[in-house]
Each structure stands twice: as C-alpha cells, then as structure tokens.
Structure 1
Amino acid sequence: MSSTTFLRLSQLSLVTSALLSGHAFAEQQKEEQAIEKIAVYGQHHKNYITEEAQSATKLGLTIKETPQSISVVSRALMDDFSLDNLNAVLESTPGVTVEQIETDRTYFKARGFEITNFQVNGMGMPQDNGSIQGTLDTSIFDSVEIVRGANGLMTGAGNPSATVNMVLKRPTYQTQVNASVSYGSWDNKRLELDASTAINENHAVRAVFTKHKTESYLDRYEQDKTIYYLAYEGQLTDSTVVTANYVNQKKDADSPLWGALPLYYSDGSATNFDASTSTASDWSYWNNTTEQLFLSIEQAITNTWFLKASYAHLENEQDSELFYVFGTPDRETGLGLTGYASEYDHKDKHDILDIYATGKFDLFGMEHDLSFGVNQADMDNKDKSLYDRTTGNGFPAMPELGGWDGVAPVPTLTDGLTGADITSRQRSAYISTRIRATDSFSVLAGVSQVNWETEGASYGVAKDKDTDQTVPYFGAVYDINASLSTYASYTETFVPQTERDINGDYLDPITGKSSEIGVKAQLLDDDLFVTVAYFDAKQVGLAIAIPDSLPDDTRYYGADGINSDGIEVELSGQINETLSASFSYSNLNIDGDELVKDYTPENQFKLAVTHKVPEIDGLTFGLNYRWQDDTKRVQVRDAATNAALITTTQDAYGLLNLMATYDINDNMSVNLNVNNVTNEKYIHSLFWAQGYYGAPRNYSVSFNWQL
C-alpha cells in the first residue's frame, strides 16, 4: 500500500469520526447526567461461559452477535484443571490441534492451517510462522479467546485458521490476594501469587508472581520458569481511562529436545522406545526470555462513542546450545544415528501502535455500530547459528538410544556462522460496521487495507517484499428469538510470498478464504452457550515450483493449496447449580495436501465437566477428556511409483484427566489433579518425521488461599 493510500484511508477515518462524533455529541447534550465511566467491553464469566470477546471485531459485540465461531477458555476452567500453559489451554479448544514437536517449540493448527495470528489484549503480534518457543504461562491471563477461521480484519497477514487472543488480568478496585502452591510428579513445584488493590477510588494496581521448577518424565529434561506481571488502571477524568501492563517471563530449559526420536528402523518396522527416552545431551540448554509492555488510553467522546489508542513493545530472546539426532537406527543394534550440535541465538522486537474509534449511530430509525482505525507494526528479527565442523565433536556417532545417558562430546561452536537479519513493517487502515436492518436481522461488513514490507535475508535467502492487500469481511446474523440465532460470514486473510514467477516478478500473496454458517443459542437463563457451525476454508495462490526450473533459480506459479471443510459443535456453561461443562466435537476434511491430511486428526472430541457435590459442602469433582482419531505420516515412498513404503501410524487415543477440589473454609482450598489416568502411550505429533511420547500418568496437589 502506498503512503498516499494509507494517508487517504487515515483521513477518511478522521473525517468520518468527526461527523459521527458531532452527531453523537449533539445527542449527548440532551442527557442530564455527565458520563461517569468509560465504556469497557469486558468478560462476564459464569463458570465456563463468557459472553463477550473482542478478537473478531472492535464493535463491542457479544459472542452471539458475532458471525464466526468463537471459543473462550475461562479462568475458571484454567484453574480447575491446572491449565498452566498455552499448550494445555489450546488442547482444550474445539478444532485446534497442538503439534508439540519438541519440548520447547510448538505449532498450533486449526481447520488444516497453522495458527499464525496471536494477540494480547486484542493487539495483534504479526509473525511469519506459527511456532511458539518456550511455553507461555497462563497465570497472568484472565481468559484466552479463540476466533476460528480467517480474521484479516483484525490481524492483517495470516492463515484462515484461527486467532488466539490472550486477555491479561486487570486490576480490581476491591482488594484481593490469592496464593497457590503445588507439588506434583517429577518434583514439579509451582508457586503463584496474585494481588490487586485500589490506590484510591480512581486508580488500581495488580501484581502477579509465578515460579515454576520441575524435572520431567523425559530423561535429563528440567525447566525453570519465572513470571513477573504488573498492571495499572487509572481513571484520569470522568471520561478518560489509562492502562499499563508489563510482562516479564523467563524460561530456562536444561537438556531440551531439538528434534525428537526416530520413528522407524532401517527395516521399516516402527520403533517403540520408553516414554522417557530423549535425544537431548546433558550439556544442551534452551533459554527463552519475553518482555512486553502495553499502554492504552481510552477517551469517551459521548456516552456511546470512545476513542482508544494502544501501544505495545515486545522483545523476545533465545539463547541455546542444542543437540539433534538424525538417521535411521538398526533394529538389532540400535546403531546408525548421528548427533548434530548447534548454537542458536535469536532476538526479535515488535513495536505496535493501534488507534481506533468505535460507537453507535442512528439511521432510518435504528441504532447501528461502527468502528474504524489505523495500525502499524514494526518488527525486527535477528538470529544466528554456529556449528562445530572442525573438532569432530559436532557430529558424533550415537550409541543405542534406549540405554544412552546423554553424555556427548562437548562441541566447540565457532564454525559456519549463518543467520537472519530481517526488518518488517505492517500498516493497515480498517473499518467495520453492523447495520441493523430490523430488530432481528443485522448485517456486518468491513474492510482492511494492509501493506506489508520486508527487507533483509534469512540464511542466504532474500526476503525483500512489498505487498498491498485489501481484506474484506462480510457477515449476517438473524435472531430467530431471544435465545436462538443463525449466522453466515465470509472472511479473508493473506500471506506475503518471496517466490518469483517465470518473468522474475514476485508472486501475489497467498489468499486465505473462509466461509461459515451456523447456529448459536443461549439456553438455561443464558447460562449455557451452544454453537453449531459448518465451515469451508481454502488457500489460493500457493507457490508451486515450475517443473525443470534451474536449482539455483527456481521459478514458481500460484496454485490452489489446502482446502478444508467440516463441522464444529460446542457447548459451554452452567447446566445447573452443581454442574458446569465445556464440550466440543469437530470434524475436518482436508484436500490438496496429503501430508497435512494424514497427520491431522479428522475427528476430535473434548469434554470438561465439574460437579459440586450437594451432600458435602465445598467438594467438587471433575474430569477433562480429549479424544482424537488415528493419524499417520508416510516416511518413505517408492521413487518410481510414489507408493508408500514406510508409514508411521498413531492409533486413535483418548486422554482422561481427573480433578477434585475441597474448600476447607471461605479462604482455603486444596486441589488434586491426576492426568492421563489410563496411562495412555502416544506420540505427541506427526507434524515432523520425528516425534516423542506424551507424559505418562502423573499427579499434582495444590493448596490455595485467598483473601
């Protein structure tokens, strides 16, 4: 997008704001009372139900009013089942698969595509891929929102998979103090402290401290996490609110997996190691540090309009020395593997600014909603890799893995310096509206004009690109009655490409298109929320190499990529005074990529239930169960016929977790969690050709105190 286009869109937003604000201000003069509080669209938890989310639009709509599938994992669900990291949260989310390929690197997928859109408090964090290094702790989150499908209106570049919004805890004006200490299998120790109080009637602060140290079922693996969180909220005037949030999260991992276990022997038969088997050396480590600062100011213009400006500064650093094992072992001896040592350092920095106005206006006797704004994200990514190709310690021959104690030659990592130095900027201007045609029928529409610029190179490959894209959003909602509504929507998003066509020009971006129809219902006095959705998503313009292109100058053409469709059913909330539940079923069909189709489960079932025992005051039982059908990965194909010669298969499996909580008194409680009760042995993911096993049966006990 040219600077002229961006300026015009910005001017359009300002002009529209002035006109609508003027009209609303005139109406405001008729009000006898002054504005006392700024409008805040927050979460209202009823156990496992949340009514509102801000990840799909900025119109202040409830989940029922938004024509897309939205799931919210509430603080209550995270607390009940000790969902202490983002992996555990998304494992409980409908239609999401957690591709845990290593101990400290994870990919998330939805509807056949990688999730690359992540937000904190509604602010997008643009990135080229969906891998998350380390594990994001949830002790600082109030909830996690997941909008499935394309969401280009809010995030710009990305896949038609989902958007994950992590909502930070906010200060409370009533003093509250919470403390929790837990101990579990493999010397798993965790401490959480959470305190919030008002400074005076207009200012409040909150602080969270978390310390988590644990060994592991995996040989040699240990992790040490420390999280600091500070939040401030202040009402400067009757119409102005400012907030500030600071996050510092550090995770040090000793003997982490880089890569994982070989899944087949040289004769083609499947390996079957102990679940504890690791390929990590005793000297390897992977340390991740994240520092985040969020600032925002909200200014009420009238009692129905406000302006919000937000700024975020994010820094992530990785420092690691890693050990990878590759090759195919002999079935009889276990030999045939080779080690591979590397030093990997990474630093990325994001500066994000978002300014928007939102509110209501009257037209043709009906009240409508409008939101518009501009966004800019500046991103710097630098990393480097070092190897040992000189001393002989960088690529040692490996002993049989089953009896290996992790002792490997210590490399001198000074060779083959390579890396990346990339600078990117994403700019967008967006507008969205909800028009009420009647009391029962609403139409939503929006458009985002996005420009993505990148300069630099990654491991010798130029990443220069300059892409403009217009991203549309359309939707409609019809309220059948006060409890039941139907909806339909069409959304898009895009991914820039650096591949060139036959003429040497850059290919157009990959376009992700997502269509969805569904039914939403709020039942049982609005305590139970139900969604049934059918979706169809596809990629258009995926770079495919032209046959017979020169290896050092490969040219590409745009083709259709993955096409997926399926159904998702979700139920969450409070069924009666003693029973709360979160249930989902998803079915996914994928065409266009056999590899993705094979390792992605077609059917998933997830259930979390808690029951307060009426006969024993303070006692609650619960279960958390998730099941997926079989997956596979073709490892070796016949070069002539393309027939599968060696295939790794993961049979269908289910994981059952149980919990029990007893409230000792109004201030103290004890919680017991037992995970993988049936001791199921399973491979975490077939996203890569390697894999490792999930945790066997384990437990944790926590003592909780609140003021």
Structure 2
Amino acid sequence: MTSPLFKLSALYIATAAIFSVNAFAFEDEKEIEKIQVLGNKHSNYLAVESETATKLGISIKETPQTVRVVTRALMDDFSLDDVNQVLETTPGVSVEKIETDRTYYKARGFDILNFQVDGLGLPQDQGALQGTLDTAIYQRIEVAMGANGIMTGAGNPSATVNFIRKRPTTDFRADVSFTTGSWSNKRLEGDVSGSITDNISARTVVVKQKRDSYLDRYAVDRDVFYGIAEFSLTDSTTLTTSLTYQSNDADSPLWGALALFDSKGNPTNYDVSTSTAADWAYWNNTSEQAFVELEQLIGSNWSVVARYAHTQNEQDSNLFYVYGTPDAETGEGLKGWASDYQLRDRINLFDIYARGSFELFGQEHQVAFGASEADMFYRDRSLYDNTSGNGYPKVPNLNGWKGNAPIPVLKDITPGSEGSDVNSEQSSQYISARFSLTEDLKFLTGLRHTKWETEGLSYGNNKGRKESDTTSHFGLVYSLNDKVNLYTSHTETFAPQSENDLTGRQLAPIEGDTQELGIKAELFDAKLMLNVALFQAEQSNIAVADVANSTPNNTVHKAAPGIESKGYEIELSGDLGYGFSANLGYTNTDIDVSDTINAGNVEAQLVKNYTPKQVFKLAVKHDVATVKGLSFGMNMRWQDDISRIQNQQPLIVTKQGAYAVVNFMASYDINEQVNITFNANNVFDKKYLNSLYWAQGYYGAPRNFAVTLNWSL
C-alpha cells in the first residue's frame, strides 16, 4: 500500500522540487533571537516577543493584552509531545478531551476557534482538533487571551493559539532522541538544521511514534515530516518555503465515551481503562501544509511580506458509538451505533501586508496594514448499517467487554443526505498602529473588515450565509518605569451564524468583545516576567430557538443577549534565581448566562457548570548546582470542581470534584552531546474525568513513565 506521504498534490510536488536544491526554512535568522535564553539550553521558560496579538513586532511587555508562551525548553523538559499536553500546561486554557481523537479548547468560558501558524490565521468556524497534533516542529506555542478580531477575523472572545514553527539556523545542528515508556510507547525524533550555501539555510524534522494505551484496545501510529528552507535572494529579499506532513492512525478510538450515570441516577464508576470502542474501529487523520513567503525590506524601517498557505486534512474512519443508560444492577441496557466517516477539507490562504515605523511630532510610531483572501471547502460523508442488523447491536456490561461488536455493512442508502459539501470564502482588510503619545504613553488601535460567504448543504441543512463585519481594538500602555507597564484594552471579534428569524431573515453575526486591565513587570534584570490582568468578556446576539413562533416542521430563532465571563489572571514566568526556572499561572473565572439563553440554548447554559472557576498551573525546574548537568522538576495542574446537569426530571447531575495532576521529571547531561530525561506523569495516580463538555466522558491516564535519550551535535 502506498504511503499517504507520496499522495501529494501538484502544489506539494512543486514545493518538493524546490527542496531538491536543498531547501527547507520559514522566517529569518534574527527571529530566533526573539526568545531570551536563560542559562543553558534547558533553562529558557521566558519569551519576550510575540506575533500573535499584532503584526507590529512589539514585545509581550508592550502588548496591551495577556500573551502566554510555552517555550521549546519547557516542552523538552516535560516531554510535551502533542498540543493537548502543551495547552494543558498553558495558564488560562482548558483542554476538553471529549474523545481520544477529538478535542476542544476553551479560554475565559468560550471555545477557542482562532489558530495561527507563524502568525498566519487559518479561518474556521469550529475549534475541534481531530487526531493529535505533534509538537516536534514547533519552537514555541503562543496564546493571546481574549478577542483577536484584528489578526484572525471571525472567532470567539476566548483566545488565539499561534504555532511558531522551528526555523533554520546558520550553524549546523543535529538532534536525535529516542523515547520508551509505558504501554509500549516508542518514539524516534530527528531534527537537522544548517546552511547549505551562503544564501540557503534549511531544517528538517522527522518523527516516528507507535504506542498502545491505558485504554483497552486503543493504539496510535504517528508520522511527522517537516521541511523548511530559506533563500536570501538579495540583501533585502528573502524567499521561504516549507512542507509539513502529519499522520495519526488510531486503532479502536473512542467515538463518544462512557455513560456517566446509571438507571437509578447514580454515577457510574468504570475502570480507568474501560473503552466503548469496537475491536475493528479505526480513525486515521492526515494533515498536509505547504507555505510560501516572500519578504522584501524597504529601507531600514519598512518591509512587505506576501504569504501563501495551502492546508489539507483528510479523515478515514470506521467508528462505534455506545449510548443509553446502563442498568444499575447488571450494567446492561447500552446499544451501539456503527458508522463509516470520511472527511476532506482544504484551505487556500493568501495574505500580504506592509509594516514599518515613521516619526511624527518628535516620536516614533509603528503601523501595519494588509489584506487576506481565503478559499475553503469541506466535504464529508457518514455511512450506516440499516440493513444487516449489525449497525445497532446491544452492548453488554462494559466491565469485561472486549470490544467484540459484530462487523456492520456500512453503506449509503439515502444518497445525498448523509454528508456535506460546503464552500466558504473570506476576504479581509486590516490596519493596526501604535502611536507614541509621549515617551511613556503608547496608544494602539486597529480595524479589520471581514466578509464571509458560505454556500452548500450539510446533512440536508442549508449552510448558506453571507456576512460582513468590522472589528476593532484599542489599547493604552503606560510605562511607570523601565521595568513596569500598566495597560488597558478593548478588543472585538464576531462569529457568523446561519439561523433565520421569524421573517426568514438570517440573524446578524454573534458579537464578542473583551475588556482587559493589567500590569506587566520585568523582575530580576528582566529574567522574570509578571503579568496580572482583570478581564471581562462578553458574547451577544446568540441564536436561540424562538419556541413561541416555531412549528414541529420549522424551527425559527431569535437573538439573545448571551454569555459574560469576568475574572482575573496571574502569571509568572522565567528565572526565579538559585537555579530555578518556572512558568506558573492562576485563573479565576466567573461566568454569567442570560435568562434568554437559559431558556433556549441548553449547551450555553451548561457552560457555567462544566468550566472550572479556578485553575492553577505550575511548571518548575531546578538545576542542581552541586551536580553539573543534573536537573529535576514538576509540572502540575489543579482545577476546581465542575458538574453537568444530565437530566431535569428527575434531576441528575454528574460531578467531578477538584483535583490535581502532578508530573515529575529528572534530567542528566551525561556529556555535552548526550542527555537522558526521565518523566513520571500523574505520579499520585489520580482518577478523574477528562471533561464534562459532553454528556459522556472518559478517564484521564493513570500513573505512567517515560525515558528519553537525547543526542545533540
């Protein structure tokens, strides 16, 4: 069977042709220095620059918005090999693992819909990650909290996640690591970078991983390839091109999860390893990305950047969903539901912008302006077995079940109604500027106009919609001194919706905004960064069912005031001194849902209960002064109790009490080239539900271990 790696489109083949002259890169070498290095290569938990909130090239301290960064050093220390692990470590972000291969992310009470690669926004209207995104290709992962309509257009007032990829180095470097761990985990990773000629530098990252799981029957086979090349065409012109391929093939994945209450309304208590997946089920995800960037410097203060990105994702799966309420005595009463699901989605995105600085009234000011065009489509298909009798079998007590469900005959018996064919276009124009009102007072402002058009059907429902909206941001930053900045900001975003009101008119977009007030301080000679923020985020104009004017055959909608969250966040990152590096954060969020939403939108009213009010996260590492090359650390997260109302009459509530997951690490440099790292995760073997985002759920991983041998040249 031919590997999917070789099933590339003409675009990928053309990109690979560029690689034939030894090319792999993305952004210029000077960008690498934007992360301040503290001590040795493993001590860098502090980042000082970010491109997630603006295109102005200003520091995190000068940005009037909370920006979190998980650096490469932190990822390496605690073996954070996938995005879920990274975002679980990121203060202010909730990772909602609803299934083994589908995950949602939340911040400040709202789903995260905005994702970027190297600051280039990838438009989408749902935030679920399908499969697992490997982190080997990323130098750091940034999260800008709050609404971010300037950089990404449509979205929620939650956060924007920006994946900053590794870039070539001028000096030759090679890193190889091998990991072995619990549940037959085997991972091999290679990273090679350097100059090919005086004008060409390149980098390649490859990963091969195979592992079983604590969940019965679940196993994953993962492949990653990343190539990036940078061409210095002239002293002022740089061409960058790259190709990324990731595949995640899962055997016996969860589709849905465990029933959380029995026939008497009591909570179920399955073994942590219990799975509802059939032994024949699989879920294969493949992602391919090609990027091309051309940067032209104009004088000493200006540059123009044009970028093109092509992203394509494919899914092939045979899945088994278990539903129903188990009998309190026998554990029986569940049924299965088999499906064949296929998906292909694609994004073509072109973005061009100019940025630079100018002097006016004796002060220097920055401005960036540009435009982007995106063309998107997705096509999917769901097949079921409604003929053989194997499509909806009875499922015995899950305790002891081996996944031996009958094999269904999956086919389309109603052509055209069991899938989607949807096309979308997004066009945006934007401008952002920072004006120096005085030496100490900076004013940031910007506008983005976005036009979004969608047409097509999804499972018989018309997804057609046309929207346009203008979002803005405003911010003030006041420098008390060289070390401390005070700031305030107002940011906006919007989300298109396709529901119609009583008159048949499409409802206006959902409106979202964030107000933030905070302080950022550099401590201990700028080795440590403190960020304290007060925030208020609101989303309004949300579609809810207009029950009074709906009929059994026609549901109409009306706009509701929406959801409001407010709270405060504290983050401290960098070098604590005495050999300690840390990244810690505390978030306190209070969510309020309007009465109209409570009456007409079941999922919205549940947000308050399944979102933890308090979350504390800490990653800390200590370099032992008395033993050269030895370090140890702890990565932990604690969250408040959460719940989900499962039924009103009689009242059934699923609860997950407050809990902490604690991970330890120890690392030793055998010599300058060889390092060994030991990781122990969930060391206190805490049993907990991953999420109450959905009515079902499954348990987090129990205690597990991994050992990684690293070789560097």
Structure 2-normalised TM-score?
Answer: 0.92
Amino acid at match of 2:97: Q
Residue 394 of structure 1 aligns to a residue in which SS?
A: coil
- 1:505 is aligned to 505
5 Å-filtered alignment, 1:631-670, equals 631-638=642-649, 645-670=651-676
Specify the alignment match of 1:552 in structure 2: 553
Between 300-309 and 42-51, the greater mean CA deviation after superposition: 42-51
The answer for the alignment partner of 2:431 in structure 1 is 431
Match of 1:224 among 218, 221, 226: 221
Is residue 413 from structure 1 mapped to residue 410 from structure 2 by the alignment? Answer: yes
Greater CA drift, 558-567 or 344-353: 558-567
Contact 2:29–2:169 (8 Å) recurs in 1: no
Distance in 1 between residues matched to 2:376 and 2:158, nearest whole Å: 22
Q: 1:44 aligns with which of 35, 51, 62?
A: 35
Q: Which residue of 1 aligns with 2:283?
A: 286
The 5 Å alignment of 1:419-458 reads 419-458=419-458
CA drift of 1:42 comes to 5.7
Question: In structure 1, what is the Cα distance between the partners aligned to 2:706 and 2:547?
Answer: 56
1:64 aligns with 2:55: no
Secondary structure of the residue that 1:598 maps to in structure 2?
A: helix
Distance in 2 of aligned mates of 1:316 and 1:354: 21
- Contact 2:640–2:658 at 8 Å: present in 1 too? yes
The answer to whether residue 368 in structure 2 is matched with residue 398 in structure 1 is no
Query: Aligned partners of 2:643, 2:226: CA distance in 1, in Å?
Result: 41
One-letter code aligned to 1:433:
A
Q: Distance in 2 between matches of 1:460 and 1:525?
A: 61
Deviations 1:197-252 (A, max 9, x none): 10122210100110110000000000000000001012110101111121000010
Q: State the one-letter code of the partner of 1:591.
A: D
Tell me if structure 2 keeps the 8 A contact 1:390–1:415: no
Aligned to 1:22: none
Q: CA 1:526 to 1:164, structure 2 compared with 1: closer, same or farther past 3 Å?
A: same
SS at match of 1:212: strand
Amino acid across the alignment from 2:254: L
Cα offsets for 1:653-688 (capped at 9, x unmatched): 000000000000000010000000000000000000
Counterpart CA distance in 2 for 1:84 and 1:461 is 38
Shift of 1:403: 1.0
CA contact (8 A) 1:537 1:563 kept: yes
Query: CA distance change for structure 1 residues 41 and 622 in 2, over 3 Å: closer, same or farther?
Result: closer
**1:75-122 CA distances to partner (integer Å, 9 max, x unpaired)?**
000000000000000001111100000000000000000000001111
Offset from partner CA, 1:117-157 (integer Å, 9 cap, x none): 00111111111111000010000000000001000000001
1:487-514 residue CA offsets vs partner (Å, 9 max, x unmatched): 0000110011111112111110000111
Q: Tell me what 1:581 maps to.
A: 582
CA separation of 1:40/1:668 partners in 2, compared to 1, >3 Å: closer, same or farther? closer
**What is the distance in 2 between the residues matched to 1:340 and 1:470?**
44
Question: Within 5 Å, which residues of 2 pair with 1:186-335?
Answer: 186-335=183-332
Which amino acid counterpart does residue 694 of structure 1 have in structure 2? G
Q: Which residue does 1:695 correspond to in 2?
A: 701
Conserved? CA contact 2:619–2:636, under 8 Å: yes
SS at match of 1:237: coil
Q: What is residue 23 of structure 1 aligned with on the other side?
A: none
Question: Alpha-carbon deviation of 1:579?
Answer: 0.9
Q: Secondary structure at the match of 1:403?
A: coil
Residues 655, 218 of structure 1: CA spacing in aligned structure 2 closer, same or farther, 3 A cutoff?
same
How far the C-alpha of 1:253 sits from its partner, in A, is: 0.1
8 A Cα contact 1:86 1:136, kept in partner:
yes
Letter of the 1:606 counterpart: K
2:283/2:318 contact within 8 Å kept: yes
Q: What SS class does the counterpart of residue 328 from structure 2 fall into?
A: coil
CA distance in 2, matches of 1:246, 1:449: 30
Residue 577 of structure 1 deviates from its aligned partner by 5.2
2:9 aligned partner:
none
- 2:601 aligns with none
Amino acid at match of 1:599: Y
CA distance in 1, matches of 2:367, 2:30: 15
Do the aligned residues in 1 keep the contact of 2:441 with 2:476 (CA within 8 Å)? yes
How much does 1:559 deviate? 1.3
Q: Which residue of 2 aligns with 1:518?
A: 518
Superposed, 1:583-662 pairs within 5 Å as: 583-592=584-593, 593-638=604-649, 645-662=651-668
Q: Is the 8 A contact 2:29 2:170 kept in 1?
A: no
- 8 Å Cα contact 1:59-1:358 kept in structure 2: yes
Taking the aligned partners of 1:43 and 1:331, their CA distance within structure 2 comes to 58
**What amino acid does structure 2 have at the position aligned with 1:657?**
N
CA distance in 2 between partners of 1:61 and 1:374 (Å)? 20
Give the letter for the 2:452 counterpart.
W
Alignment match of 2:678 (pick from 665, 672, 676): 672
Which segment drifts farther, 43-52 or 323-332? 43-52
Instruction: Give matches, 1:458-469, under 5 Å.
Output: 458-469=458-469
Partner of 1:9: none
CA shift digits 1:356-376 (9 cap, x unpaired): 000001111100000000011
Q: SS where residue 74 of structure 2 aligns?
A: helix
Q: Distance in 1 between matches of 2:199 and 2:571?
A: 39
Q: Is the 8 A contact 2:137 2:226 kept in 1?
A: yes
The residue type equivalent to 1:464 in the other structure is: G
| Whole-Å separation in 2 of the counterparts to 1:237 and 1:577 | 46
Q: Does 1:137 align with 2:128?
A: no
1:184 lines up with 2:181 in the alignment: yes
Pick which of 555-564 and 189-198 moved more.
Answer: 555-564
Q: Provide the rounded CA distance (Å) in 1 between the counterparts of 2:30 and 2:658.
A: 48
Shift of 1:575: 1.4
Equivalent positions of 1:163-178 (< 5 A) are 163-178=160-175
Paired residues of 1:71 and 1:93 also in contact (CA < 8 A): yes
1:558: how far off?
1.1
Counterpart amino acid of 1:285?
Answer: Y
Partner of 1:682: 688
- SS of aligned partner of 2:486: strand
Between the aligned partners of 1:203 and 1:522, the Cα distance in structure 2 is 37
Aligned residues: 666
Tell me, in whole angstroms, the C-alpha distance in 1 between the residues paired with 2:31 and 2:689. 44
Residue aligning to 1:17: none
What's the CA shift for 1:546? Answer: 1.2
- Could you tell me how far apart the structure 2 residues matched to 1:129 and 1:62 are? 30
Shift of 1:576: 1.7
- Do the aligned residues in 1 keep the contact of 2:29 with 2:167 (CA within 8 Å)? no
**Does the 8 A contact of 1:38 with 1:241 survive in 2?**
no
Deviations, residues 42-75 of structure 1 (Å, cap 9, x unaligned): 6314310001010110000100011000001000
* 8 Å CA contact 2:29, 2:168 repeated in 1: no
**Unmatched runs of 5 consecutive residues or more in structure 1:** 1-36, 639-643
Task: Tell me the residue number matched to 2:157.
Answer: 160
1:364 is aligned to 2:370: no
Give the aligned partner of residue 377 of structure 2: 380
- Please list the CA deviations of residues 599-626 of structure 1 after superposition, one character each: whole Å capped at 9, or x if unmatched: 0100000001000111111100100010
1:118 partner SS: strand
Spell out, residue by residue over 1:558-609, the C-alpha distance to the aligned partner (whole angstroms, 9 max, x if none): 1111100010100000112511000100000001143101001000000010
Q: Report if the CA contact (8 A) 1:589-1:602 is conserved.
A: yes
Q: Shift of residue 378 of structure 1? A: 0.6
- In the TM superposition, structure 1's runs of 4+ consecutive aligned residues that sit over 4 Å from their partners are 37-42
* More divergent stretch after superposition (498-507 vs 382-391): 498-507
> Judging changes above 3 Å, is the alpha-carbon distance between structure 1 residues 123 and 276 closer, same or farther for their aligned structure 2 residues?
same
